Amino acid sequence: MDDVKTEIEALREEIRKHDHLYYVEAAPRISDAAYDRLFQRLVELEEAQPELRTPDSPTQRVGADPVDFLPTVRHVVPMLSLDSTQDPDQVRRFHERIGRAIGGEPAFLLEPKLDGISIELVYRDGVLDRAVTRGNGIEGEGVTENVRTIPSVPLRLRGEAPSLLAVRGEILMRLSTFEALNEGLMEGGSEPYANPRNATSGAIRQLDPKVTASRPLECLAFDILEARGATFHTDTECVEALQGWGFLLPERIERVTEVDDILAYHRRYDEDRDTLDYEIDGIVIKLDDLDDRADLGSTSHHPRWALAYKFEPRKEITRIDRIGIQVGRTGVLTPVALLRPVEVGGVTVSRATLHNREELERKDVREGDRVRIQRAGDVIPQVVEVVPDDRERSEPFRMPDACPNCGTPVETRGPFTLCPNRFGCTAQLKGRIVHFASRGGLDIEGLGEETAALLVDREMVREPADLFHLDVEAVEALPGFAEKSARKLVEAIEKRRETELRRFLFGLGIPEVGATVARDLANHFQDLDTLLEADREALEAVRGIGPTMSELIVEFLSDEQNRHAIDRLAAEMKALTVDAPTGGPLEGQTFVFTGSLETMTRREARKRVEALGARATSSVSGETDVVVAGPGAGSKRKKAEELGVEILDEAAFLELLDQIAAETGTREEAGGP
């Protein structure tokens, strides 16, 4: 027994060493086959004696069962954000300001600013205890089991470990992984991710760790939030400690004193940006001395001792081969530049939206033009401007007179061009099917653009309700499908016969009804029939719905053809569920946030109150109950004063949240699943 235990421990040590060499040092010392033998031996020993299995064993990276939701977890130390700039003069001023404040020549550590998902890792007695996303900085989502699957995250620290260690890092997906993932998604008929950050976020927030494990991620550590029982004097020492514990760190960390060295570092990274296999969006400048950091302190949003110096968005020049027209689900014709494929920051782009007729005229973009395009992180770039060359230009582009899909004469509405053939135009139908099945709608896996196009073109689907009558054999006959994938699609659709009313409403594509309004409508009316019978007055009783929206909704719902499609769909559904009224402590209250907040963004603040049952809107009216006003609040604050609406500053707002938390005990869920 003791022999087995000794062997198990020796194997774990050995495997951890090779994991570190492979994933962190990128310098493997044994063959894959030799590694597999070690691993297999450990698996066998642990299987024979499961009582010897421990959570920090290398075999336990993917072990946990899927969960129903991700728990909310409070951070050990609030995770602040960074102040940022694109302006070198601001960097000079930052450098001077710090010099003045500490009364000497400061030294700084320079690092790349990684464009991924921020994460807090907590180790207790050297063993990974939990991983939490940044969330609103105070609390985030517990994603421990998912993060365990990332090979560069140590499950056990190397060497001597503090009793409690909280580390901050960034989770990334390599560009090569990202492109492969998107290709796979598109082949399977699903929507691709817009950028590696979204793909990372999607991977890390999975409910099933096995899905996360199938998407290779990396974690780079860059900050010690807390290390109980260890003392450091400089960030340089922290970096060394992190390396010693076995973390992967950002590349090319440098220590400098001169501002010119900071600017040069920024320039070098900017130049090399395209050769990296992951996205960075700038550099981070951090004061090295930790005592000085403590003296400078933080605002509630960011530390005063650090600054992110961001890059300009990437731009490349390419040529427009052709301008195409896309017809969307609402009938709007969008001009799209089909580009000679060009690499922009490691991602190949071949199309860019030209928005609408007015935009097109304003920029005077024509077929054959040389253009500068810009990608700010997303795969879909923008055309910035035409870059003149000696070639003779083609005629100015004109929007077509007829829908390129169905030939119906178009109508013009403001800057937009529309195909009025709502039910006969297959392009619009394809768009409606994709929207119906999208992540915010019924969320039908595997039903993306390509599949929707096939189903419509082969006349297997003439309206959304037809989806529920697809049979496996017919789908199997479609190009790109086999029996298994056909069955999967039909099952994915079948599963959605039971769905939330808010998703159903979103999926209908009612004008102006996005996810939020759909949820409000669902919560207010509680069932579809009551909503369908609602007149404008009844609709306007829903908070946030005014005369313009009520008119559009009534118009849509009373349209005979729409109504027929909705009735047919509703007949297919087994259940349209509604979240039980939250009974949240802020139920029925409407909040407006204005001015800048320090501890969180306005968006985060909105989410917080919504989670407690309140509504958050953007303008102050007679319906507003509370205005939270930070510095810089202007007209909204004034209006609130005029109307006698309660005004809270940020501190009072935080106090309110704390009070609710104390009363309901909602904030104290600790630990991962």
CB of 150 to ligand IVH, least distance (A): 16
CB of 162 to ligand IVH, least distance (A): 19
Contact residue for ligand IVH among 57, 59, 81, 499 (CB under 6 A): 81
Cβ distance to ligand IVH smaller for residue 284 or 354:
284
* 204 touches ligand IVH (CB under 6 A): no
* 279 touches ligand IVH (CB under 6 A): no
Amino acid letter at 602? R
Beta bridge mates, 626:
591, 646
Residues in region 549-608 near ligand IVH by CB under 6 A: none
Helices and strands in the chain, H and E counts: 24, 24
* 113 touches ligand IVH (CB under 6 A): yes
Q: Which helix (H) or strand (E) holds 295?
A: helix 290-296
CB of 89 to ligand IVH, least distance (A): 20
The residue number with the shortest CB distance to ligand IVH is 118
Cβ distance to ligand IVH smaller for residue 250 or 335:
250
| Candidates 79-87, 200-208, 451-459, 662-670; binding stretch for ligand IVH (CB under 6 A) | 79-87
CB of 307 to ligand IVH, least distance (A): 10
- Among 586, 577, 606, smallest CA distance to 516 is for 606
Number of residues located near ligand IVH, criterion CB under 6 A: 16
CB of 230 to ligand IVH, least distance (A): 18
- Dmax over CA atoms of the chain, in Å, equals 84
Contacts of 137 (CB under 8 A, 6+ apart): 75, 78, 79, 80, 81, 599, 600, 604
Cα 526 to Cα 502: distance, rounded to the nearest angstrom: 10
| Candidates 112-120, 193-201, 514-522, 643-651; binding stretch for ligand IVH (CB under 6 A) | 112-120
* 140 touches ligand IVH (CB under 6 A): no
Contact residue for ligand IVH among 30, 43, 76, 82 (CB under 6 A): 82
Contact 623, 543 (CB under 8 A): yes
Contact residue for ligand IVH among 46, 111, 145, 235 (CB under 6 A): 111
Beta bridge mates, 518:
none
Cβ distance to ligand IVH smaller for residue 238 or 660:
238
* 141 touches ligand IVH (CB under 6 A): no
Amino acid letter at 159? G
CB of 402 to ligand IVH, least distance (A): 48
How big is the CA angle at 423 (ends 420 and 427), to the nearest 5 degrees?
80
Cβ distance to ligand IVH smaller for residue 170 or 450:
170
Cβ distance to ligand IVH smaller for residue 303 or 441:
303
Cα 79 to Cα 131: distance, rounded to the nearest angstrom: 13
Look at residue 72 and give its three-state secondary structure.
Answer: strand
CB of 306 to ligand IVH, least distance (A): 6
**Annotated catalytic residue 315:** no
Amino acid letter at 488? K
Cβ distance to ligand IVH smaller for residue 223 or 500:
223
* 278 touches ligand IVH (CB under 6 A): no
Cα 459 to Cα 470: distance, rounded to the nearest angstrom: 11
Cβ distance to ligand IVH smaller for residue 165 or 308:
308
Q: What is the rounded end-to-end Cα distance, in angstroms, of the chain?
A: 31
Contacts of 195 (CB under 8 A, 6+ apart): 178, 279, 377, 378, 379
Q: Phi then psi for 160, rounded to 5 degrees? A: -80, 130
Catalytic residue among 113, 310, 488, 636: 113
DSSP-assigned states of every residue in 307-336: EEEEPPPEEEEEEEEEEEEEE-TTSBEEEE
Contact residue for ligand IVH among 110, 114, 425, 501 (CB under 6 A): 114
Cβ distance to ligand IVH smaller for residue 254 or 559:
254
Q: Which helix (H) or strand (E) holds 606?
A: helix 602-611
Would you state the torsion angle of the CA atoms of residues 452, 454, 458, 460, taken in this order, to the nearest 10 degrees? -40
| Candidates 36-44, 94-102, 303-311, 497-505; binding stretch for ligand IVH (CB under 6 A) | 303-311
* 80 touches ligand IVH (CB under 6 A): yes
Contact residue for ligand IVH among 166, 199, 259, 284 (CB under 6 A): 284
* 218 touches ligand IVH (CB under 6 A): no
Q: Phi then psi for 363, rounded to 5 degrees? A: -85, -10
* 217 touches ligand IVH (CB under 6 A): no
Cα 471 to Cα 460: distance, rounded to the nearest angstrom: 10
| CA dist 46 → 1, 9, 40, 41, 416 (Å) | 12, 11, 10, 9, 65
* 250 touches ligand IVH (CB under 6 A): yes
CB of 455 to ligand IVH, least distance (A): 41
| Candidates 108-116, 192-200, 349-357, 422-430; binding stretch for ligand IVH (CB under 6 A) | 108-116
Contact residue for ligand IVH among 19, 170, 179, 235 (CB under 6 A): 170
- Residue 494 token pair: 């079948």
Residues in region 219-238 near ligand IVH by CB under 6 A: 222-223
Place of tokens 């501890």: 599
DSSP-assigned states of every residue in 26-65: S---S-HHHHHHHHHHHHHHHHH-GGG--TTSGGGSS-PP
Place of tokens 């570190």: 20
Look at residue 264 and give its three-state secondary structure.
Answer: helix
Cβ distance to ligand IVH smaller for residue 279 or 650:
279
| Candidates 254-262, 302-310, 404-412, 636-644; binding stretch for ligand IVH (CB under 6 A) | 302-310
Amino acid letter at 586? L
Cβ distance to ligand IVH smaller for residue 235 or 650:
235
CB of 319 to ligand IVH, least distance (A): 35
CB of 185 to ligand IVH, least distance (A): 26
Cα 364 to Cα 385: distance, rounded to the nearest angstrom: 9
* 249 touches ligand IVH (CB under 6 A): no
Amino acid letter at 580? A
CB of 81 to ligand IVH, least distance (A): 5
Binding region for ligand IVH (CB under 6 A): 80-82, 111, 113-114, 118, 134, 170, 222-223, 250, 284, 303, 306, 308
**Which residues are catalytic, by number?**
113
